[in-house]
Structure 1
Amino acid sequence: MQYINPELDIEQLGRSFQRDGRVLIRDFFDPAVVQALSAAVDQIDWALTYRDTKGDRVLSGEQLRALTPEQREMLVEGVNTVARNEFQFSFFTESMVAAAKRGDTDLLARFMRWMADEQFMATIRQITGITEINRVYAQATMYTRGNFLVAHDDHVDAEDRRLAYVINLTRKWRPDWGGLLHFTKADGSVTDSYFPHFNSLSLFKVPQSHFVSYVPPFANAERTAITGWLIAA
C-alpha cells in the first residue's frame, strides 16, 4: 500500500526545508492511512508523562484513575513548581517503540515498523538531504487541558538525533486552544508557529529551540499526534 501522498512536491518541500531548517507538510499521508491512525490513537488508554524533582515520570491510565482529587491537585502543583525553574513537560503518551519491540500486531505497532522501513526513510532523506538517518523513535501523544512542553532543542548526548517530527492527527482544533508548535530564537522571540492541521507532518532539524504552547482549561478537544526523532545510528 502507498502510505505517503504521491502528489507531494518533494523538490519544493526540500527547498523549503533547506531554507528554514523545518517544513510543515500538509496532506502527507493517504487519507485512508491517516484516518486509521487517528482512530487507533483515539482508543489508547493514555499514560501521563511529566517531570518531578527526581526526573522523568510516567503514570499509567489505571494509576491516574486511582488518584483522589487532592492527589491530582498535588500532582498539578508539583508539575508547575518544576516548570517555574527547570525543563518541564506534561502530556499523555503511548510508546510505539515498546509496542513494536514486544511484537504487538496492532495498527500503531505495525506503523512503527513501517516508519523504520525504506518508504518513509527514503522520502524524509529526499526532503531534508540528511542521508545518515536510519533509525526512528515514535510515541503517540495527546495534549489536553493543562498540558504543555517548555522550550528545548531536543539535543541529547546519548543519541545522534538529526530530525524531529510530528504527525498531526487532530481533527478539530483552534489556535486559541494552545498546543501549537512554536520555534524560538535565543532572545525568546517566536520565529515561526505550526498549527496542528489534520494529516500534516511537521519536520525540523535538531537542535532547534521550540515549545508546545499551554492548553488552557477552556479547550474543547484533544491534540493527538505521533511524534519522535529520526536518528543516525
Structure 2
Amino acid sequence: MLSSSLNTEELAQKYSADQRIRIPDVLQPELAQQLQGLYYSLIPFEQLMSVQGQNRTFTASEMAAMSDTVKRQLQEQLVRQAGEGVGFLYGGYRLTDGRAKNIPALEPLQTLFDYLNSDDMLNFVRSVTGEAGLVGADGHATQYTPGNFLTRHRDDPAGEQRRVAYVFNFSKSWHPDWGGLLQFFEEDGTPRDAWAPQFNSLALFDVRHIHSVTYVTPFAREPRLSMTGWFHTG
C-alpha cells in the first residue's frame, strides 16, 4: 500500500529534528484516488462535537430530527466554547470498532485501516519515529466542511498510551485560504508553521505537539477529507 519510493532512513532523519514530518505521495496513487472518491460519496459521516465538556456524536438522522431551536442552541454553545479556545466540530466515522466491515462499499477504507495495524506499516512507523514499542493504531475517517474546526490541544490524554498521531489527507485540490490547516503551536500559544492537507500525504507527529485544525471558511469549495488517529504502545 505504501509507495515504493519512500526512503525510511531519510524520513527518520527528518522526523528526528522535531518529532514530526509530512510525507508526500505516501500511498500508491491508485489507492489514494479510490479512497478520495469513496470519501465523497459513501462514508456515513456523523457529527462530532464537544458540548459543555462532553464529547457528543450525532448521526445524520439524529441531526435531521432536531428542531431549529435545539440546533441553534448547539451552535451557540459551540461558538461560545470556541471563543474560549475549547472544542471541536467536524464529521467523523469511527473505524476502530469495525463497523466499516459491515458495509461492502467501504472495503477500501477498512483495508487501509487494517493495514495500519499490519507488521509492514507498524515497522515503517517505528523506523521513522524511533518509537520501537508501537503495537497498533486506532482512528477514524474525517470530513471538515465550512464552519468546522478543532481548537488547540495535545493528543496525549492520560492512560491511552498514544505516542504518534497520524493524518492521511485525501482532499484533491485544497486551497490554503480555505482554512483546515494542521497548525502547530509553541508552549505559550505562539503559532508555528501550518500544513495544508496535501492530497496523498501523511503527517506523523509526537502526540505532545500542541496543534489544531483551523476553521474551515464559508468559501471552501470542497470538504477537507482525511483519516486520522494515533499509533499507541498498548
- Whether TM exceeds 0.5 here: the answer is yes
Number of aligned residue pairs: give it: 231
CA distance in 1: counterparts of 2:101 and 2:174, whole angstroms: 33
What is the distance in 1 between the residues matched to 2:13 and 2:109?
Answer: 31
Which residue does 1:199 correspond to in 2?
200
Given residue 30 of structure 1, which amino acid in structure 2 is its aligned partner? Q
SS where residue 222 of structure 2 aligns? coil
Cα distance between partner residues in 1 of 2:128 and 2:16: 9
TM-aligned CA deviation for residue 68 of structure 1: 4.0
Question: How far did residue 173 of structure 1 move?
Answer: 1.2
8 A Cα contact 1:139 1:227, kept in partner = yes
CA contact (8 A) 1:100 1:113 kept: no
Q: Quick one: distance in 1 between partners of 2:61 and 2:137?
A: 28
Looking at structure 2, the residues matched to 15 and 107 of structure 1 have their Cα atoms a distance apart, in angstroms, of 31
* 1:26 partner amino acid: P
Structure 1: distance between partners of 2:37 and 2:112: 13
**What secondary structure is seen at the aligned counterpart in 2 of 1:79?**
helix
Q: The residue matched to 1:97 in structure 2 has which SS?
A: coil
Distance across 1 between alignment mates of 2:25 and 2:67: 42
Q: Please give the TM-score of this superposition, normalised by the length of structure 2.
A: 0.93
1:140 and 1:226 mapped to 2: Cα distance? 4
Q: Residues 51-66 of structure 1 correspond to what in structure 2 (within 5 A)?
A: 51-66=50-65
Distance in 2, matches of 1:133 and 1:199, equals 23
Task: State whether structure 2 residue 121 is matched by structure 1 residue 123.
Answer: no
Q: Quote the RMSD (CA, aligned, Å).
A: 1.7
Deviation at 1:102, TM superposition (A): 6.3
Aligned position for 1:11: 9
TM-score, normalised on structure 1? 0.93
Displacement of 1:100 after TM fit?
5.5
Distance 1:60 1:103 in 2: 17
Matched residue, 1:107: 108
Distance 1:98 1:153 in 2: 23
- Letter in structure 1 aligned against 2:2: I
Gaps of 5+ in 1: none
